[in-house]
Chains A and B, each alone.
Chain A
Amino acid sequence: MNKIDDRKDRLSVSEIVKNALFMIRYAAGFDRKLVMIIIGLFCISNICFALYDTLIIKFIIEKLQDDSPFKAFLPILAIGFVLTLIGEFGDRLKENWVEAKLVTLCGSVQRTLVEKNGKLDLICYDDPKFYDLYITTASNADDMVKKSVLVTAKLISGIIAMITATAVLMTVSPIIAIFPLAGFIVNLLTRYKIEEIHYLWDLSYRRSIRQADYAKRVFYQPEYAKECKMTDVRNPLRKHFDEALEHASDAGRQYGPKLTWVSLINWICVFTIFSFFCVPATLGYLALVVKSIALGEVAATNNAANYIRRNLDRVNFCLVDLQQIGQYASRFRKILSYETNIESSTGSTADPDEGDCTIRLEHVSFRYPHSEKDTLQDISMTIRPGEKIAIVGENGAGKTTFVKLLMRLYDVSSGQIIYSKHDIRDYAIRDYRREIGAVFQDYQIYAATLGENVMMHKTGPDDEQTIIKALNRADFGKRLATLENGTETELTREFSEEGVNLSGGESQKIAIARIFAGDHKKIFILDEPSSALDPVSEYKLNQNLIANAKDATVIFISHRLSTTRMADRIFLFDHGRIKEQGSHEELMTLGGDYKEMFDRQARSYIS
């Protein structure tokens, strides 16, 4: 799983080129025509300007020198006029039309990747190193695809322009053409080195700045404001901030001088020697000593050489970008080819709807990646349909992991989970999960309408009754009556000032309404659904759940042992194992940990 973490690996030139080609093909996969048009557009406008800046100017200068009449300029300037118009027109389209058209392409790339991310196995999130890398790579994909298209177009058109100008040079003096060529080669050789050092510096600089940014964030993000006001946390924060910046400067001290020396070699060779010195010196020599060329040719050649140098500049920048794209693409290719196990599973032919909905766990163990011990160890149990099961235990006992295994958000490390006589891995993942309604500890409210937040899909008029019924059951009815737009109310202020921000308790009710909305759910799973509720709401909720889940199996995790009394059976988890199990009465008679916990909580109520 760590295979995609190879940022430090250097890429060879051929790999970079291969990667860049991959990016272009990827972009073309979305809109081949557009990519072709963009490259074509860049080439046309560059060729027009190359012809104008070298050939037309050459003609003008030569005609000024010799004894052609004024009239001879008119056709040349007319051609120049047309070339300029086409070139300018192309350039403006490049900057604007292309930009607008790429919005759609980038949007499609982004959509494809987020959808892919939605199908990533949950276990990947528990490996922060992998996931951070995955996220940064995937979330930059749209920008990078766009960049790849533009850079390729610029590079191809830049090289074509240079070839055009070089051809003009060759007609005057083949020797002169050597200089831009030599410059280009030196540039290629040193540029690679420059980029490599720059990349290392950037990596180290960004890392330090990112750390410093943390302190900055603490100071302006509202969630930290209260603590900053109440305590002196600024002092240690300032210390860490200053240290991070010192490291950022150190990165400059380490890589800066190297970078400067290599850059100097590049600049002095490419620009000073091959361009500013060699070209005029040779031209002057040919004109003044050998006397083989006249002023007109000197001027035209000098002009063309300058044109080439300007394009060399541009190609330079493209090469820098190309290297970045190459580095990026190697990560990108890996995330694209990353295979998921759970989320893509289509199962054998079994249909979870057939059967008696019994859940059976056989010697189930589970261990998180990179963890040294099992989070769940050898769990075996049978949950009959319609049973109400409570899971209790201290923090870290494995309760949440247990329900995640039931939902097949993770796959067991050993043992098996059987639902309606088949291993849950035999079902298509979507069919199996459709049996389950869950409220998570960290339930979320989405920036969509209230109805959509309950149904969790696009709603139509047919859904209205279901939504209202579900909201009423979740004790949201009173609040619903106060909402002007009813189930069409826009939730959160993400997009609209009129959006409604719900309180913690209200949000929780929405999350609970979700399981009531899906009427075919066979299993309800509640991971501490009542922690944000006040006692009265909690009471109503618990009663409602039991009342409405008559046929369904309910599995709930709760800290409040009072709630667990409603359960048919209680499992007490301890360090990943089931320590005690039975009904409330049985466990109280047993006199173990459960009784101790219950008594402690109850003591405050029974005077």
Chain B
Amino acid sequence: MEAIKQKKAGNTGKFANIFYAMKTVYESDHLLLWFTLIKNSMEQIFYVFFFVYLTKYIYDCIEKNIPYEKLFRFLVIACLLHVVIHFMCGWYETYRKIRTPEIYRNIFHKVMELSDELELRDYEDPAFYDTYAKALDRSVDSAMDLSIRFGVFSGNVISSVMALVIVVSVDPVLFVFMIIPIIASFYFGGKTNVNNFNMERDITRDKRMTEYVKRVFYEKKYAAELRLYDMPELLSKKQEEAVDRLAETTLKYKMKNAKYAFFTYGSYSIISGILAFLYVAFRVKVYGAENVGSYVAMVTAMGFASNQLRDAVTNGIFVGNESKLFKNLKDFLERAVEEKEPGEPINEINEIEFRHVSFTYQGAEEPTIRDMSFTWRRGERIALVGYNGAGKTTLVKLLMGLYPVTEGEILVNGTNINKIDLKQYRALFGTVFQDLQVFAMTLAENVLMRTPENDADYEKVAKALSNAQFDIENVALPNGLDSMISREFDENGFVCSGGQAQKIAIARIFANNPQMVILDEPSSALDPLAEYNMYNNMMRLSDGKGVIFISHRLSSARMAHHIFMMKQGQIIESGTHEELLEKHGEYYDMFILQGQNYQESVPEELLKGAQTFYE
């Protein structure tokens, strides 16, 4: 009972998904959906007319010796009709080519609106990527495919019913020979689906292995290492093993499928073929049926009807499966409908306070940030220093509301961060991330993060770039500030190095003049001169702003008003550079270690800890 209910729910879900797919096409272009449905179903229906009705008509004409002119006239009309259908199909193809991008636009604009609602952790959740991103990837083709196949499916159903009506009108008993294979195909179709599902499950890992090996060999970043070490042999071996397992698993499941398919298709060929012929022969020869011509026509009509039925089942199954994929897209697009309370507007940040904030990543056992409290005021420069994995990057992400805190609260001008309009809040920040990205847009757009409108904008971009130490004069830009970055859109686009990308990201801050600045190791790929000049400019121009920066090079930490030394998710020391040095704590150790090569002597006791691994 429960199972039946579930199945029913599954089927209604399927229909809802199919209709959602068609709705998506409809919203993008009304005519495209109608055209798709009509064209694809009409084609199938027309086949009945030609292969069943026309054949029967011709045979009847010959049997009854009707004048040739009448037959000829009928043929001419039928063929003209056929030409009309061709014209419809031909222009449909052109229309489809022109209008399909509209579906893409429709879906993508929705996704863009939606991305506001998504939390950063959604992106970092592999399940999210797997379901939604894949759904999105195939959404356009999938929406069109579903509409087309649904049209064909409807056509299949209508035409097989029509063919069946014709067949039954000649002899109702023939219907029996058609119904048994239909039942068989539903039964084995279900089994095949389960089998395919299990196969996919069992081959995924090996398939991923082969894809991985391919990626490693083809991606540029692995190239030099592969040539210097013996890794290729190891990977090759892994690929071979994976392929062997893959072949074995596939064969096992495919042979099962072959068995099911043999029963399905065999039942059509044998029951509605051989056995039906036997019956027809029996009717004509033993019972002496009168209308031999009609029976003769039925021999082919039944073949046609069973073909149509088989296609109906195949298309039905396809639509069902494909609709599952569309379900993911539907879930994704519709989850935004949940109304969120609009946050309090904010256009100025005076202070941000952390109160006993703790944060644990999803699935992690240990918190990354533990019970942290501090206040950051506008005009204050804070440097975050500490070992790898101390939680510095996580801290700045929390600060910008990119993750919700696990415990405690973050107050912005005294209001909880959850209650303010995050979009407005974030717009007040200028940020350079450790894993910063440049976009396939023009250089000017990459700096402004919008399209430049006038000369003043370009001037601003040029100034920001030079402040960020990006040498516009000496870099071979194909088209000045309007040069496309990356080769995504333009074959002659400018491909920037790691250092140039960092400079572009830093220039964003200079150009947009935000109230608060966050720099998460923005200079790791910069040479010392460029880094020094960049920091100098940044500090000069950020008077009165709040600045937080993370740096491994302690030399830059000295430019801060406050230094937070972090360790295991906590601030273990804080104060000015001088204060921290006097403390002779961990900051002092770190500073001395890094700076020791610039000075003449190194305190001996510091080397002890480092010597543990000497041999």
Q: Is B216 a contact of A446 with CB atoms below 8 Å? A: yes
B31, chain A: closest CB distance, angstroms: 14
**A227 located at the interface, meaning its Cβ lies under 8 Å from any Cβ of chain B in the complex:** yes
CA of A495 to CA of B204, assembled, Å: 10
Q: Is A96 a contact of B257 with CB atoms below 8 Å? A: yes
CA of A209 to CA of B50, assembled, Å: 39
Name the B residues within 8 Å of A296 (CB-CB): 296
Identify 6 new A-B residue pairs, CB closer than 8 A, beyond the known A115-B236, A201-B97. Answer: A222-B123, A229-B426, A232-B427, A277-B76, A393-B527, A458-B233
Q: Kindly report which residue of chain A lies nearest to residue B246, judged by CB atoms.
A: A103
Q: Kindly report which residue of chain B lies nearest to residue A494, judged by CB atoms.
A: B212
CA of A77 to CA of B225, assembled, Å: 68
Q: Looking at the complex, which one of B68, B593, B597 makes contact with A563 (CB distance below 8 Å)?
A: B597
Name the B residues within 8 Å of A87 (CB-CB): 269
How many residues belonging to A are interface residues under a CB distance threshold of 8 Å?
A: 182
Q: Is B299 a contact of A57 with CB atoms below 8 Å? A: yes
Q: Looking at the complex, which one of A128, A233, A276 makes contact with B78 (CB distance below 8 Å)?
A: A276
With A118-B217, A220-B136, A263-B93 known to touch, is A287 a contact of B449 (CB < 8 Å)?
no
**A481 located at the interface, meaning its Cβ lies under 8 Å from any Cβ of chain B in the complex:** no
**B104 located at the interface, meaning its Cβ lies under 8 Å from any Cβ of chain A in the complex:** yes
Q: Mark A559-570, 1 if CB is under 8 A from B, else 0.
A: 111110110000
- Within A374-405, the residues touching B (CB, 8 Å) are 393-396, 404
**B214 located at the interface, meaning its Cβ lies under 8 Å from any Cβ of chain A in the complex:** yes
Q: Looking at the complex, which one of B242, B437, B532 makes contact with A227 (CB distance below 8 Å)?
A: B437
Name the A residues within 8 Å of B441 (CB-CB): 233, 236-237, 240
Q: Is A536 a contact of B590 with CB atoms below 8 Å? A: yes
CA of A216 to CA of B101, assembled, Å: 13
**A443 located at the interface, meaning its Cβ lies under 8 Å from any Cβ of chain B in the complex:** yes
**B3 located at the interface, meaning its Cβ lies under 8 Å from any Cβ of chain A in the complex:** no
A71, chain B: closest CB distance, angstroms: 9
**A345 located at the interface, meaning its Cβ lies under 8 Å from any Cβ of chain B in the complex:** no
**B51 located at the interface, meaning its Cβ lies under 8 Å from any Cβ of chain A in the complex:** yes
Q: Kindly report which residue of chain A lies nearest to residue B295, judged by CB atoms.
A: A64
With A503-B389, A605-B599 known to touch, is A232 a contact of B90 (CB < 8 Å)?
no
- Within A574-605, the residues touching B (CB, 8 Å) are 597-598, 600-605
Q: Is A239 a contact of B590 with CB atoms below 8 Å? A: no
Q: Looking at the complex, which one of B68, B86, B212, B235 makes contact with A285 (CB distance below 8 Å)?
A: B68
CA of A603 to CA of B246, assembled, Å: 61
**A415 located at the interface, meaning its Cβ lies under 8 Å from any Cβ of chain B in the complex:** no
Name the A residues within 8 Å of B277 (CB-CB): 60, 73, 77, 80
Q: Is B433 a contact of A212 with CB atoms below 8 Å? A: no
Q: Is B440 a contact of A562 with CB atoms below 8 Å? A: no
Q: Is B234 a contact of A298 with CB atoms below 8 Å? A: no
**B552 located at the interface, meaning its Cβ lies under 8 Å from any Cβ of chain A in the complex:** yes
Q: Kindly report which residue of chain A lies nearest to residue B440, judged by CB atoms.
A: A214
Q: Mark B100-124, 1 if CB is under 8 A from A, else 0.
A: 1110110011011001001010011
CA of A234 to CA of B111, assembled, Å: 11
Q: Kindly report which residue of chain B lies nearest to residue A300, judged by CB atoms.
A: B296
CA of A296 to CA of B261, assembled, Å: 34
CA of A536 to CA of B596, assembled, Å: 11
Name the B residues within 8 Å of A225 (CB-CB): 118, 120, 123-124
CA of A70 to CA of B284, assembled, Å: 8
Q: Looking at the complex, which one of A220, A221, A532, A598 makes contact with B524 (CB distance below 8 Å)?
A: A532
**B380 located at the interface, meaning its Cβ lies under 8 Å from any Cβ of chain A in the complex:** no
Name the B residues within 8 Å of A214 (CB-CB): 440, 488-489
Name the B residues within 8 Å of A103 (CB-CB): 243, 246-247, 250-251
Q: List 15 A-B contacts (CB under 8 A).
A: A61-B296, A77-B277, A212-B104, A216-B108, A225-B120, A245-B101, A276-B78, A288-B68, A407-B228, A436-B228, A444-B216, A444-B222, A493-B126, A532-B524, A597-B529
**B491 located at the interface, meaning its Cβ lies under 8 Å from any Cβ of chain A in the complex:** yes
Q: Mark A281-317, 1 if CB is under 8 A from B, else 0.
A: 1011101110000011011001100100000000000
CA of A433 to CA of B235, assembled, Å: 19
CA of A456 to CA of B233, assembled, Å: 9
B550, chain A: closest CB distance, angstroms: 11
Q: Is B212 a contact of A96 with CB atoms below 8 Å? A: no
The listed residue with most A CB atoms (<10 A of its CB), out of B50, B62, B297, B386, is: B62
Chain-A contact segment, one of B52-60, B158-166, B311-319, B338-346: B52-60
CA of A5 to CA of B297, assembled, Å: 56
Q: Looking at the complex, which one of B120, B214, B233, B556 makes contact with A226 (CB distance below 8 Å)?
A: B120
With A271-B82, A602-B598 known to touch, is A229 a contact of B402 (CB < 8 Å)?
yes
**A338 located at the interface, meaning its Cβ lies under 8 Å from any Cβ of chain B in the complex:** no
Chain-A contact segment, one of B8-16, B457-465, B607-615: B607-615
With A245-B105, A394-B527 known to touch, is A543 a contact of B62 (CB < 8 Å)?
no
Name the A residues within 8 Å of B98 (CB-CB): 249, 252-253, 256
Chain-B contact segment, one of A12-20, A131-139, A347-355: A131-139
Name the A residues within 8 Å of B261 (CB-CB): 92, 95-96
- Within B578-611, the residues touching A (CB, 8 Å) are 589-591, 593-599, 610-611
CA of A124 to CA of B359, assembled, Å: 46
CA of A273 to CA of B76, assembled, Å: 10
Name the A residues within 8 Å of B389 (CB-CB): 503, 505
Name the A residues within 8 Å of B233 (CB-CB): 457-458
**A484 located at the interface, meaning its Cβ lies under 8 Å from any Cβ of chain B in the complex:** no
**A540 located at the interface, meaning its Cβ lies under 8 Å from any Cβ of chain B in the complex:** yes
A255, chain B: closest CB distance, angstroms: 8
With A65-B292, A214-B489 known to touch, is A303 a contact of B239 (CB < 8 Å)?
no
Q: Kindly report which residue of chain A lies nearest to residue B240, judged by CB atoms.
A: A111
Q: Looking at the complex, which one of B89, B295, B450 makes contact with A232 (CB distance below 8 Å)?
A: B450
Q: Looking at the complex, which one of A229, A547, A562 makes contact with B614 (CB distance below 8 Å)?
A: A547
B430, chain A: closest CB distance, angstroms: 8
Q: Is B115 a contact of A219 with CB atoms below 8 Å? A: yes
With A216-B136, A256-B93 known to touch, is A238 a contact of B58 (CB < 8 Å)?
no
Q: Is B99 a contact of A239 with CB atoms below 8 Å? A: no
Q: Is A495 a contact of B209 with CB atoms below 8 Å? A: yes
Q: Looking at the complex, which one of B66, B218, B254 makes contact with A100 (CB distance below 8 Å)?
A: B254
A422, chain B: closest CB distance, angstroms: 20
CA of A271 to CA of B231, assembled, Å: 57
Q: Is A211 a contact of B488 with CB atoms below 8 Å? A: yes
CA of A99 to CA of B293, assembled, Å: 43
Q: Is A604 a contact of B558 with CB atoms below 8 Å? A: yes
Top 6 closest A-B pairs, CB basis? A107-B243, A252-B97, A604-B555, A256-B94, A605-B595, A562-B597
Chain-B contact segment, one of A166-174, A324-332, A472-480: A472-480
Q: Is A299 a contact of B59 with CB atoms below 8 Å? A: yes
Q: Is B243 a contact of A111 with CB atoms below 8 Å? A: yes
CA of A523 to CA of B72, assembled, Å: 90
With A103-B243, A535-B593 known to touch, is A457 a contact of B273 (CB < 8 Å)?
no
**A231 located at the interface, meaning its Cβ lies under 8 Å from any Cβ of chain B in the complex:** yes
Name the A residues within 8 Å of B400 (CB-CB): 229-230
Name the B residues within 8 Å of A571 (CB-CB): none
Q: Mark A80-96, 1 if CB is under 8 A from B, else 0.
A: 11001101110111011
Q: Is A535 a contact of B209 with CB atoms below 8 Å? A: no
A377, chain B: closest CB distance, angstroms: 17
Q: Is B449 a contact of A604 with CB atoms below 8 Å? A: no
Name the B residues within 8 Å of A211 (CB-CB): 488-489
Q: Looking at the complex, which one of A257, A268, A456, A469 makes contact with B231 (CB distance below 8 Å)?
A: A456
Name the B residues within 8 Å of A57 (CB-CB): 299-300
With A256-B94, A562-B598 known to touch, is A302 a contact of B55 (CB < 8 Å)?
yes
CA of A416 to CA of B293, assembled, Å: 91
Q: Is B236 a contact of A111 with CB atoms below 8 Å? A: yes
Q: Is A457 a contact of B231 with CB atoms below 8 Å? A: yes
Q: Is B101 a contact of A547 with CB atoms below 8 Å? A: no
Q: Is B79 a contact of A272 with CB atoms below 8 Å? A: yes
**A320 located at the interface, meaning its Cβ lies under 8 Å from any Cβ of chain B in the complex:** no
Q: Kindly report which residue of chain A lies nearest to residue B589, judged by CB atoms.
A: A536
Q: Mark A234-265, 1 if CB is under 8 A from B, else 0.
A: 11111111101110110111011101110110
CA of A230 to CA of B166, assembled, Å: 66
With A457-B231, A536-B387 known to touch, is A222 a contact of B129 (CB < 8 Å)?
yes
Name the B residues within 8 Å of A306 (CB-CB): 51, 300
